[in-house]
Structure 1
Amino acid sequence: MRKLFYLFIVLMLVLGVTVTVSAQTEADEEYRISVVLKATNSDYWKSVQAGADQAAEDFGVEVSVVGPSNETQVMQQINLLEDQISRQVDGLVVAPLRPSAAKTVLEKAISRGIPVVTIDTDAEFEGKTSFAGTGNFQAAQQAGNYMVEKLDGEGEIAIVRGAAGDYIHDQRVEGFLDAIGDSNINVVSTQPADSQRGEAVSVMQNILQTYPNIDGVYGTNDEMALGAFRALKSTNAGDNVTVIGFDGSPDAIKSIRNGELTATVQQDSYNIGYTGVELMVKTLNGEEVEKTVPVPTNIIDKDNVDESIRDLRKAFSRDRLENIFGEDLIEELLD
């Protein structure tokens, strides 16, 4: 339908007929937009999906959300992208697991006339429309500055990170290291745990065998920070170690509320999903969009954790929040 519309416009111009087309935020027709996530197995990505779904409702478009089973399945994501191209969707909103691996398939989408907006993690490829997400280097600097503050600028810490070679986790490590660079904080170990909580338990247990008196742990996502804390707690060291995560997931927020994790860098995952779809709708309507649309981050700790729980209402149902935090707390905070 959209292609016929454009052919009509061209024909009118050839015939000398003046045509006025107004750009509007709401979709001119029900576009089919595919949102391809890094995974579907965590609350973070469910929050991104909730934002995308709300944007679909607000702008009157059809949005399908797909993703691999976890964040290590790079080829599964590539295959999902190929499938969406074969379905001839009107637009792709993509959180690429490994930008270098996705480059070819994303350029293929462009060559087929399918615009691409990246979210969460940027990627460099010819013809990209826009990127909406967190500046991971800058957000990780926030985590590093917070660690310096909590440890008074000195101590021994470990970093538990996502898969080696993953661009987003590289940025989250490099920004953190940049922030602690002028302090007397020493990183004694940096180990990958593939963004998995269970794997992080094992990794942290191994680190503690060599460094039993560690002062801090930085996990480059919340799942790994939670796994690291579990390992620390099993050695009765958890109360004395500063543990910082990254993402602002409900489980991490609950852990902070319970006095376990110290803090997390909150990405506004809901608005990342929402903004990605909004940018795609504007693009399909012929509107100009910014090449980069930053979505702000902030630190969640015990001082603002209750406010953060209230904010989760945008992404999760009350039943879901009661299941995570308990009925009494949700009644106290939301009623």
Structure 2
Amino acid sequence: MRTYKWMAAATAVLSLTALTACGGNDDTAAGGDKTGGFKIALIPGVANDAYYGSVACGVQAAAKASGSTVDVQAPKSFSPTDQIPILQAVVAKKPDVIIIAPTDSKALYAPLKQATAQGIKVVLVDTTLEDSSLAEAEVTSDNIEAGKTAAAKLLELLGDKAGSVLTVNLSAGVTTTDDRFKGFAEGLKANSKIKDLGQQYSNNSVQTASSIVSATVASNPDLIGIFSTAAFNTEGAVAALRQAKDDRVTIVGFDANPPGVKQIQDGEVAAQVVLKPYDEGVAAGEQAINALTGKEVTKKITTGAVVATKDNLDSPEVQKYLYSFTCPAA
């Protein structure tokens, strides 16, 4: 994977719909079977999120190799309420394949089943379904392992301190963040001095996350650590601690978007777990093309993670995985 150029926070509001792959040649084999020029629909979890910008760049890279096109349609919020109508509109256009990050492990099953019933292939990327049997392939991070990595980093940062730790999660039913919490809670058991306060849900709201952290700081004077499973929660946690003028609490989050990088640079977040969305996008695109051309498909692919801190933020290994709408040069 090539080095990323990450953009300033102000440019992170660029719409994912601007990311459209070139190509579209109607390539056919001698026997008449199509070998390229496919119509790929990509439905990320939410618009204006550089994580999904990187996923889109990866899908584009895979699509370009087969002369296929990518149409990106993203919901305005990470919710099935916004995503399902977009999925239904995409199905009506009859693409060859839909690559989607389901915003709910159950609610997206029925509309995706309707897509496959019409002969449209489905590949899941980033998030998945409770019953993923309808998908040709699913590509996701190993979020349980990434959660354990977050716990190990927080325990390292806390050293010999004793106290309580809170997890701020998104909402129940999101497979990626549910798994992050599972891994984190398991990893936290390695230190008997730490009291695990469990998780509270922000329901994708920065304001709710901020309120949760403010209330926890007030009711738990021994609070020394916060684990945030996603960018919304980290932003809310940072705002709450800033308002409380509390520098005793160490935050470990999951955010390599430009604002998340700045949080590290400013010392407001001690570490961010950085996933590999570009790699996810490439793998999802490749498996989609394989499914369409009759090649062998790898049913499940998982990608890893690295941890970014102020000390290693400028290292090549971290820099190449920071999330961005700017695709690597061909």
- Would you call these one fold, judging by a TM-score over 0.5? yes
CA deviation vs aligned residue, 1:41-61 (integer Å, no higher than 9, x gap): 322222222322333334321
* Cα pair 2:36 2:66 within 8 Å, conserved: no
Equivalent residue, structure 1, for 2:150: 143
Q: Distance in 2 between matches of 1:236 and 1:75?
A: 37
Give distance in 2, aligned partners of 1:258 and 1:162.
Answer: 24
The letter of the residue matching 1:255 is: Q
Aligned to 1:283: 291
SS at match of 1:305: coil
Q: Is the 8 A contact 1:189 1:207 kept in 2?
A: no
> Do residues 91 (structure 1) and 97 (structure 2) align?
yes
Counterparts of 1:74-113 in structure 2, within 5 Å, are 74-113=80-119
Deviations 1:122-162 (A, max 9, x none): 22233321111101111111111112222236421111110
* Shift of residue 210, structure 1, vs aligned partner: 0.9
CA distance in 2, matches of 1:99, 1:144: 25
Residue 16 of structure 2 corresponds to none
What one-letter code is carried by the residue in structure 1 that aligns with 2:233? M
Matched residues, percent identical? Answer: 25
Matched with 2:36 is 29
Question: Is 1:55 equivalent to 2:86 in the alignment?
Answer: no
Partners of 1:84 and 1:235 in 2: how far apart? 46
Contact 1:248/1:266 (<8 A) preserved? yes
The farther-off stretch of 299-308 and 114-123 is 299-308
1:152 matched to 2:194: no
Match of 2:268 in 1: 260
The answer to whether the 8 Å contact 1:34/1:65 transfers is: yes
Q: Unpaired segments of 5 or more residues in structure 1?
A: 11-20, 22-26, 319-335
Give the aligned partner of residue 170 of structure 2.
Answer: 162
Residue 324 of structure 1 corresponds to none
- Which of 172, 183, 194 matches 2:180? 172
Q: Is the 8 A contact 1:222 1:245 kept in 2?
A: yes
Give, in angstroms, the shift of residue 313 of structure 1. Answer: 7.8
- Which residue of structure 1 aligns with residue 124 of structure 2? 118
Q: Which moved more, 1:50-59 or 1:138-147?
A: 50-59
Deviation digits for residues 150-187 of structure 1, max 9, x if unmatched?
22364211111101333322211111101112322112
295 and 87 in structure 1: CA distance in 2 versus 1, 3 angstrom threshold: same
Task: Report how far residue 314 of structure 1 moved.
Answer: 8.2
CA displacement, residues 271-323 of structure 1 (integer Å, 9 cap, x when unaligned):
222221222112212111211111111111123211266426884449xxxxx
> How many pairs were matched up?
300
| Alpha-carbon spacing, 1:178–1:106, altered in 2? closer, same or farther (3 Å) | same
CA RMSD for the aligned pairs?
A: 2.8
Are 1:51 and 1:272, in contact at CA under 8 Å, matched by a contact in 2? Answer: yes
Q: Aligned partners of 1:248, 1:281: CA distance in 2, in Å?
A: 28
The residue number in structure 1 matching 2:12 is none
Q: Say which SS state the counterpart of residue 294 (structure 1) adopts.
A: strand
Q: TM-score, normalised by structure 1?
A: 0.81
- With normalisation by structure 2, the TM-score equals 0.82
Please, which of 192, 213, 218 is the counterpart of residue 227 of structure 2? 218
Secondary structure at 1:34 match in 2: strand
Q: Please say if residues 106 and 173 of structure 2, whose CA atoms lie closer than 8 Å, have aligned partners that are also in contact.
A: no
Match of 1:227 in 2: 236
Higher relative contact order (CA 8 A, sep 6+): 2
Tell me if structure 1 keeps the 8 A contact 2:50–2:325. no
Moved over 4 A (4+): none
Tell me if structure 2 keeps the 8 A contact 1:120–1:134. Answer: yes
Return the offset for 1:259: 1.9
Shift, 1:28, TM fit:
2.4
Match of 2:4 in 1: none
Structure 2, unpaired ranges of 5+ = 1-23
- Structure with a larger share of its residues in helix: 1
Decide which structure has the larger Cα Rg and report it.
1
Task: Indicate which of 284, 301, 305 corresponds to 1:293.
Answer: 301
Distance change in 2, residues 1:274/1:131 (3 Å): same
